[in-house]
């Protein structure tokens, strides 16, 4: 366990460059941890201060981490400690993701801004855009918590595609290396998997305790689901088409954020109530 009383809102990992970024509760400080070969964060972390508070972190690409804040799209060089900012027309952004050369920004008023090198287009039709996930083949899904729906986004045509109802409480979303979208349905205690062209619901599995954070270990083919109601993390094998539990462990309280090191299999959990950063290696859950 790493003491991180001021960190607790979001995380992102670059497994190739051995970096873990944690957004502090003030949302302007990003704590950057170097990871050793075993996935252990090295202390002390380096602090990068953002020009505006970040509402969300995106993923890493070539060592650069995306973050979005009020009217600001930020590119963070976690190693060099530099931040480049671009102004955008989004006063209350909720999510951000990279798709090829474009950046997708989701807003609280139901828009997706497609930010290109020189142009910005808008796709609307949602109530909220709480999460955006982009598969390796470019397929893009939007999670709207207000409608508890997952909707395919045709970015090239700037239009909405098929939508799936994800129970009554779709909360978080991730995507794995075989282009399956993993979704937690907190209200109904369910773990949901959507995939295909067009996307369809392939799995709906009961997970007790209010599942929240979801992520995937591409190397070991394990879907991780964290339930905040009972402070439990579970790993599921999805190969048979029915989730089969392989591992579980107790987590810090209110572990709203999760990241998985694709190189070592280490799982990182961040407490939203100040209990710290939990680091769990595969030797602890085998």
Predicted local confidence at residue 283, as pLDDT: 86
- The model's confidence at residue 62, banded by pLDDT at 50, 70 and 90, is very high
Predicted local confidence at residue 152, as pLDDT: 98
Q: How far apart are CA 285 and CA 260, in angstroms?
A: 14
Predicted local confidence at residue 274, as pLDDT: 87
Share of the chain above pLDDT 90, in %: 94
Q: Does the pLDDT of residue 91 top 70, yes or no?
A: yes
Q: Which helix (H) or strand (E) holds 283?
A: helix 282-285
Question: For the residues of 130-163, what is the DSSP string, one character each?
Answer: -EEEE-TTS-EEEEETTTTEEEEEETTTTEEEEE
Q: Which helix (H) or strand (E) holds 229?
A: none
Q: How far apart are CA 173 and CA 150, in angstroms?
A: 9
Q: Does the pLDDT of residue 63 top 90, yes or no?
A: yes
- 198-222 tens-digit pLDDT: 999 999 999 999 999 999 999 999 9
Structurally, how many domains does the chain consist of?
A: 1
Q: Does the pLDDT of residue 52 top 60, yes or no?
A: yes
Predicted local confidence at residue 1, as pLDDT: 67
Q: Which helix (H) or strand (E) holds 195?
A: strand 190-195
Predicted local confidence at residue 286, as pLDDT: 63
Closest to 50 measured CA to CA, from 67, 71, 32, 25 = 67
In this prediction, residues 93-107 reach a mean pLDDT of 98
Cross-strand pairs, 31: 22, 47
Cross-strand pairs, 102: 99
Q: Are 237 and 228 in contact (CB under 8 A)?
A: no
Q: How far apart are CA 259 and CA 22, in angstroms?
A: 10
In this prediction, residues 69-96 reach a mean pLDDT of 96
Predicted local confidence at residue 163, as pLDDT: 96
Q: Residue 118: how many CA atoms within 13 Å on its side-chain side?
A: 0
Residue 73 lies in a domain: no
Predicted local confidence at residue 129, as pLDDT: 99
CATH number (domain holding residue 259) = 2.130.10.10
Which tokens sit at 167?
Answer: 């129970």
3-state secondary structure of 216: strand
Q: How far apart are CA 46 and CA 264, in angstroms?
A: 22
- The model's confidence at residue 2, banded by pLDDT at 50, 70 and 90, is confident
Residue 202 lies in a domain: yes
Predicted local confidence at residue 284, as pLDDT: 83
Q: How far apart are CA 11 and CA 231, in angstroms?
A: 18
Using CA atoms, how far residue 274 sits from 1, 30, 45, in Å, is 12, 16, 17
Predicted local confidence at residue 133, as pLDDT: 99
- 145-197 tens-digit pLDDT: 999 999 999 999 999 999 999 999 999 999 999 999 999 999 999 999 999 99
Give the range of the structural domain holding residue 217, as residue numbers without chain letter. Answer: 176-286
Residue 219 lies in a domain: yes
Q: Are 106 and 112 in contact (CB under 8 A)?
A: yes
Longest dimension (CA), the chain: 49
In this prediction, residues 108-117 reach a mean pLDDT of 97
Residue 223 lies in a domain: yes
Residue 200 lies in a domain: yes
What is the C-alpha radius of gyration for the chain, rounded to an integer number of angstroms? Answer: 18
Query: How high is the mean pLDDT of the chain?
Result: 96
Residue 193 lies in a domain: yes
Cross-strand pairs, 106: 95, 112
DSSP state of 51: S
């Amino acid at each position: 366990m790493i003491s991180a009383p001021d960190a607790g809102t979001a995380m992102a990992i670059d497994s190739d460059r051995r970096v873990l970024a944690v957004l502090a509760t003030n949302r302007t400080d990003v704590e950057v941890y170097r990871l050793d070969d075993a996935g252990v964060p090295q202390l002390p972390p380096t602090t990068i201060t953002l020009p505006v508070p970040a509402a969300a972190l995106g993923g890493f690409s070539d060592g650069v981490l995306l973050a979005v804040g009020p009217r600001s799209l930020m590119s963070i060089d976690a190693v060099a400690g530099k931040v480049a900012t671009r102004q955008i027309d989004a006063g209350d952004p909720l999510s951000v993701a990279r798709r090829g050369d474009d950046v997708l920004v989701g807003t609280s008023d139901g828009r997706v801004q497609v930010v290109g090198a020189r142009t910005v287009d808008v796709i609307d039709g949602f109530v909220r855009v709480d999460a955006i996930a982009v598969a390796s083949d470019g397929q893009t899904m939007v999670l709207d918590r207000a409608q508890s729906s997952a909707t395919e986004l045709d970015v090239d045509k700037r239009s909405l595609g098929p939508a799936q109802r994800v129970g009554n409480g779709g909360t978080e979303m991730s995507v794995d290396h075989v282009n399956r979208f993993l979704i937690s349905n907190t209200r109904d205690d369910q773990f949901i998997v959507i995939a295909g062209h067009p996307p369809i619901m392939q799995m709906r599995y009961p997970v007790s305790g209010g599942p929240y954070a979801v992520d995937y270990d591409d190397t070991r083919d394990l879907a991780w689901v964290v339930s905040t109601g009972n402070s439990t993390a579970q790993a599921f094998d999805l190969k048979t088409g029915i989730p089969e539990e392989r591992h579980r462990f107790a987590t810090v309280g209110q572990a709203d954020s999760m990241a998985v090191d694709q190189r070592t299999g280490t799982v990182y959990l961040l407490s939203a109530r100040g209990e710290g950063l939990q680091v769990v290696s595969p030797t602890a859950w085998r």
